């Protein structure tokens, strides 16, 4: 008989993050914007189905802890909110072109800080760098000239998701593995 592996083997891990995921209308508006930015800046567009805003990046998490994360998300008490994406730009250091809100709504700040706090309490590693919400639309882009003013798009946030990121030859592919509603008042 083959020896049974002792409990020393590391548990299998998956790459996870919490995010806001656009609905079909929002996704298409953002995808159009990405197309326009691409004409000016080149680079690689984010595929429409992959467009999102990261709330908290967890990195590699043991599969055995996914249920714990889902329970944590389920009891989080966040509020629904609307916000305007009205600001586009490009980061020279990582060649990412993005759109972002001009002012970050308090409900988003509260949601992210509460998520970060609870993740920390539960012993998950979270990136504590200042949170800068943005939608990445181009990678490996080069936009030396100012991007044209964009027409504001309103994102009505009613829920948030937990996403598994899988590396593929075509780049990262995302699978939503949980979705939780935010309270709409
Ligand atoms: P790729 O790495 O293939 O270019 P990606 O960056 O979209 O694609 P992931 O690296 O899995 O895919 O990241 C998932 C999401 O988390 C992205 O929105 C990414 O910007 C964000 N992210 C990745 N690493 C970090 C990090 N260390 N801190 C904060 N956010 C991160
Ligand atoms: Mg990445």
**Residue 185 banded pLDDT, cuts 50, 70, 90:** confident
How much distance in Å is there from the Cα of 16 to the middle of ligand 2? 11
- What the chain holds in terms of domains, given with CATH numbers, is 14-181 (3.90.1140.10)
What DSSP string runs through 74-113? Answer: HT---B-EEEEEEEEEEETTTTEEEEEESS--HHHHHHHH
Query: Between vectors from CA 88 to CA 87 and to CA 91, what angle results, nearest 5°?
Result: 125
| Each residue's pLDDT tens digit, 109-119 | 999 999 999 99
| Each residue's pLDDT tens digit, 109-150 | 999 999 999 999 999 988 778 899 999 999 999 998 889 899
Question: Tell me, what's the pLDDT at 163?
Answer: 98
pTM of the model: 0.92
**Cβ of residue 172 lying under 6 Å from some atom of ligand 1:** yes
Give the other-Cβ count within 10 Å of 85's Cβ: 25
How large is the average pLDDT for residues 41-60? 96
Question: Tell me, what's the pLDDT at 8?
Answer: 61
Ligand nearest to the CA of 54: 1
Q: How far apart are CA 51 and CA 171, in angstroms?
A: 13
């Amino acid at each position: 008989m083959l020896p049974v592996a002792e409990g020393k083997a590391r548990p299998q891990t998956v790459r996870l993050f919490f995010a806001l995921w656009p609905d079909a209308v929002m996704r298409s508006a953002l995808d159009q914007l990405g197309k326009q930015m691409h004409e000016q800046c080149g680079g690689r567009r984010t595929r429409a189905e992959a467009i999102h805003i990261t709330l908290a990046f967890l990195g590699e998490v043991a599969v055995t802890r996914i249920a714990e994360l889902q329970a944590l998300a389920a009891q989080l008490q966040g509020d629904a909110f609307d916000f305007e994406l009205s600001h586009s730009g490009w980061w020279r250091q990582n060649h990412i072109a993005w759109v972002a809100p001009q002012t970050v709504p308090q409900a988003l700040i509260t949601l992210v800080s509460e998520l970060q706090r609870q993740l920390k309490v539960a012993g998950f590693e979270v990136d504590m760098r200042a949170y800068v919400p943005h939608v990445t639309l181009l990678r490996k882009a080069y936009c030396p000239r100012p991007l044209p003013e964009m027409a504001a798009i309103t994102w009505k946030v009613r829920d948030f998701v937990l996403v598994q990121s899988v590396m593929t030859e075509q780049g990262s592919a995302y699978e939503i593995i949980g979705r939780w509603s935010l309270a709409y008042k």
